[in-house]
Amino acid sequence: MPVTFTHSALLLSLLLGFGQTQAASEREPAALAASNGIPYPAVIAHRGASFDAPESTAASYRLARDLGADYLEMDLQRSQDGVLFALHDNNLQRTTDVASKFPERKDSPANQFTMAELKTLDAGSWFNQAYPDRARPAYVGLKILTLDEIIDIAQGNPQHKPGLYIETKEPRQFPGIERDLREKLQDRGWLSPAGSKLAKSELAVGQGKGKVVLQTFDKHSLELLQKEMPRVPKILLLWVGAGSIEAQSRQTFAESGEKTKAAFYAKQHPKDEAEFKRWVDYAKAQGAIGTGPSTQLSDLGDQSYSDLVQPWMNQYTHDQGLLVHAYTVDEPVDFKQVLDAGVDGIFTNRTSELLKYVKRPAGASIAQLLEANGY
């Protein structure tokens, strides 16, 4: 049958309509996450299950894995002798006994220690002192972990293989760390294409397309990560302040007169809408699959920062075809607030609580899992 004008117009409108449907569905956060092999909403164990065990140690990562976290989050650094390891702070004071083992170097950056020196430190006892209600004798003497050791943990439970969510921490201190990371992940088989059978399994995030997510606050590091690992999903972390989104006010915390940092951050807003959007646009232009914004928490505690997950912000980010993974949220009231606002994944210290909230509760208690792992 010849195609008449009417038929052509109909065909065209159907085609256009189909195109629009496709484009709209590609912007749907759940579909976006699925296309990257990332669970929705994603449960990201911030430094492991770090509310219940010393952060970034084997106890914390094993617990997060066995609870069923989608990702083990870590802050990546490099020792003086070139070994990649996980530690959040720039120095070792808060989370180790460096002051007693190396008193004269207690304020030195962690990267000025060899891995052998780092391995002499006790990275667990501080937790028992800080949180006596969650203390365990087996936490005493826990070690700082290399990336290799965290990979071993991620691969160590046949029932659940979480992915790795790796932040290049203060990357300007570590020239070439993006290349070192690519080499390590490649050596360990974490950059190989997903096995199709395992990729379909909900229990195998760590073997699917989204098994590694790379994150950074640093624009230059994002560019280097993209160059080294163009096919690995990347997140640009966002906050309001130096090196990130420009604030409306130039007042410092000291000048503000606020009693707590959280009260100060609560009043820190992006300079204007355009400034927020510029950062999202930049993330997209550099090949990121999403952003990792800060959140303001209901308790205005130590983890409460500027509110960068307002619904319009999440909507704008989704409209650009990007996901939103927000940090760092531990309480149900805040899980609700940020998920209602539209975020697609949450960094949490309380893996167990977030899994309960998203109706994927762990099959065993925290105590049972810690004990099963010898803690």
The whole-angstrom distance between residue 176's C-alpha and the CA centroid of its chain comes to 21
218 and 234 Cβ atoms separated by less than 8 Å: no
Interface with ligand G3P includes 170 (CB under 6 A)?
no
Residue 64 and residue 356: Cα distance in Å, rounded?
13
**Residues from 129 through 158 that contact ligand G3P (CB under 6 A):** none
**Residues from 68 through 97 that contact Ca ion (CB under 5 A):** 75
Minimum separation from the CB atom of position 216 to ligand G3P (A): 9
Which range touches Ca ion (CB under 5 A), out of 149-157, 164-172, 269-277, 350-358? 164-172
Interface with ligand G3P includes 341 (CB under 6 A)?
no
Tokens representing 343 are 């975020």
59 and 53 Cβ atoms separated by less than 8 Å: yes
Give the residue carrying structure tokens 């990729």. 199
Closest CA to 39 of 208, 152, 280: 208
Closest CA to 162 of 355, 318, 294, 367: 355
Coil/strand/helix, residue 369: helix
Residue 148 and residue 184: Cα distance in Å, rounded?
8
Residue 77 and residue 68: Cα distance in Å, rounded?
26
Interface with ligand G3P includes 167 (CB under 6 A)?
yes
The interface partner of residue 237, options being ligand G3P, Ca ion, none and the CB cut-off 5 to 8 Å by kind, is: ligand G3P
Interface with ligand G3P includes 122 (CB under 6 A)?
no
The interface partner of residue 77, options being ligand G3P, Ca ion, none and the CB cut-off 5 to 8 Å by kind, is: none
Interface with ligand G3P includes 234 (CB under 6 A)?
no
Please give the radius of gyration of the chain, using alpha carbons only, rounded to the nearest integer.
22
285 and 232 Cβ atoms separated by less than 8 Å: no
Site string for ligand G3P, 43-72 (x = CB under 6 A): ---x--------------------------
| Contacting residue, 139, 190, 265, 327, with ligand G3P by CB under 6 A | 327
**Residues from 236 through 255 that contact ligand G3P (CB under 6 A):** 237
Which range touches Ca ion (CB under 5 A), out of 16-24, 163-171, 228-236, 364-372? 163-171
What residues line the site for ligand G3P (CB under 6 A)?
46, 75, 88, 167, 215, 237, 292, 327-328, 347
Q: Which residues bind Ca ion (CB under 5 A)?
A: 75, 167
